[in-house]
Amino acid sequence: MKSRILTMFVLALLYCNTSLAAPTMTSEQLTQLQHQWAKVNYELDDKAQIKGFEELLETATALTQAEPDNAEYWVWRGIIESSFAGAKGGLGALSLAKSAKHSLTKAIRIDGSALMGSAYTSLGTLYHKVPGWPISFGDDKDARMYLEKALIINPEGIDPNYFFGEFLYDDHQYQQAKKYLLIAQQAPAREDRPLADKYRQQEITDLISKVDKKLNKK
């Protein structure tokens, strides 16, 4: 049973971990990290992807060590850790998910509004996706709280609306889920994140189709 839950968790992370960070004025180092993440997450597979995430995490860790009060660096360290969890799988995935939780919580303590509240979106998604006690820290009550905070900060954003829509879909609240998914579908394009937007829009379209099928059965 635990093995099945871990497998479902890993698949969910692999499917959902596109970039959660909204655009902002960032340092050149952070911009490079974002672009390299997209390449590793979307264009690499298997051992090459694992190696890519290892290198990304090494870079992100160095950035947070060099500037421990930079919330944006902690957000991206958390995103990389959660993405790496999906690629790695097994017990190592849970360890990385816990590390991601720490990084994202750290970012919120420093500045929860950094990157348009992306730490709240990422943390809410983690709480929703990981197994609950006694295997891990998953909790839908906390997930909803963080996802709703993200929407307060960035009500028109593609990621907070998509992930809250997905959360509602999983909770069988299909009409409400569609409301947020349609907002996500109409979100302004991020000029510096075309690859992330491309894959996110595909996910939105697919999930709206699933929602419509559920609604049509009623």
Give the start-to-end residue ranges of the domains of the chain: 2-155
Options 2.60.40.1120, 1.10.10.10, 3.30.470.20, 1.25.40.10; CATH for 2-155 is: 1.25.40.10
- pLDDT classification of 23: cutoffs 50, 70, 90: very low
- pLDDT classification of 7: cutoffs 50, 70, 90: very low
Q: Locate tokens 């929860």: which residue?
A: 112
pTM of the model as a whole: 0.86
37-42: list long-range contacts, CB under 8 Å, 24+ apart. Answer: 37/76, 37/79, 37/80, 37/83, 38/193, 38/195, 38/196, 40/83, 41/17, 41/83, 42/18, 42/195, 42/199
Give strand pairing partners of 138: 132
Burial grade of 130 (CB within 10 A; 0-12, 13-18, 19 or more): buried
- Mean confidence (pLDDT) of the chain: 88
Burial grade of 209 (CB within 10 A; 0-12, 13-18, 19 or more): exposed
- Report residue 84 as tokens: 């790496």
Residue 168 pLDDT greater than 90, yes or no: yes
Please tell me the predicted confidence (pLDDT) of residue 191.
82
Q: What's the start-to-end Cα distance of the chain, in Å?
A: 32
User: Omega of the bond prior to 188 within 30 degrees of 0, cis?
Assistant: no
Sequence letter at residue 145: M
Residue 86 pLDDT greater than 60, yes or no: yes
